[in-house]
Amino acid sequence: MCVVDFSLKPTSDFSPQVDRLIELALEEDIGRGDVTTQALIPPEKKGTAQIRAKASLVVAGLPVAARVFHKLDREVHFLPMAEEGQEVKAGAVLAQLRGPVASILTGERVALNFLMRLSGIATFTRKVIAAVEGFPVAVVDTRKTTPGWRLLEKYAVKVGGGQNHRFGLYDGVLIKNNHLLAVGSITEAVRRARKQVHQLLKIEVEVADLQGLEEALAAGADIIMLDNMAEEELARAVEMNQGRVLLEASGGMTLERLPQVAATGVNFISMGALTHSAPAVDIHLRLMPG
């Protein structure tokens, strides 16, 4: 059987959504069979391999990589050698595998794809969090995620030190500009939302200027998203708000701009780049001699 040793899982007992994603990735890569490995490697051949970082990074996704091999062949033993969220240098051993060499080679690319993508998000998020260190602000992700990967990508953001915004359309009301164009006004949109949704759901409204902020405050919004505002306008919005509701700055966020936005006093900074623009990091797998 596959022995997997880790303490932190991205979902409880691996949600069906994560399992489906892994199965789809394996199906996509293997197709009718790994013809190269089948031609070269006897199925009874056993061996050991190591997964190593080729650059400095923040580790995320080892449980997912382990699950890949578990799905492929339960005789593969996967032993993590690093913790989720740990910062490692180039050359660090992230995991060791023992078992059928054919299964290790067949699962290699899928496992590494998950590791490289999720560790890339965690690594970039850690840099973002460092940029706002000392400010009483939380950096949150968005729904700008790879289709099918949202649960895992938001997990990687958390591993990197960020926080999660809503996971989907079902777990929070966010009235955006197109909703407002359809309804007619912030006041009417908040009224309708308050009437229809559960009392425990927060109502957030996106505004583009200080006039919209005033209307959203008067309408009783719980959170107000300040969209594409310059730092001076953000600071003025914080002053006008006087701590009544939570304020979220959004739009045009870059690593270089973050300290200036954090200094305005907003409560949250949402940054789609955490998931849609984080570069993958370089990780490889090598069979050990003998």
Catalytic residues: 109, 144, 176, 206, 227
**What's the chain's length in residues?**
290
- Which DSSP string do the residues of 172-217 spell out, in sequence order? -EEE-HHHHHHHS-HHHHHHHHHHHS-TTS-EEEEESSHHHHHHHH
Q: Where are the alpha helices (DSSP H) in 132-166?
A: 150-160
Residue found under tokens 């359809």:
182
Structure tokens, 242: 């006087």
User: What CA–CA distance (Å, rounded) separates 199 from 52?
Assistant: 49
Considering only CA atoms, which of 225, 232, 222, 223 is closest in space to residue 261? Answer: 232
Q: Where are the alpha helices (DSSP H) in the chain?
A: 16-30, 35-40, 62-72, 101-131, 150-160, 177-183, 186-196, 210-219, 231-241, 258-262, 273-276
User: What CA–CA distance (Å, rounded) separates 231 from 130?
Assistant: 20
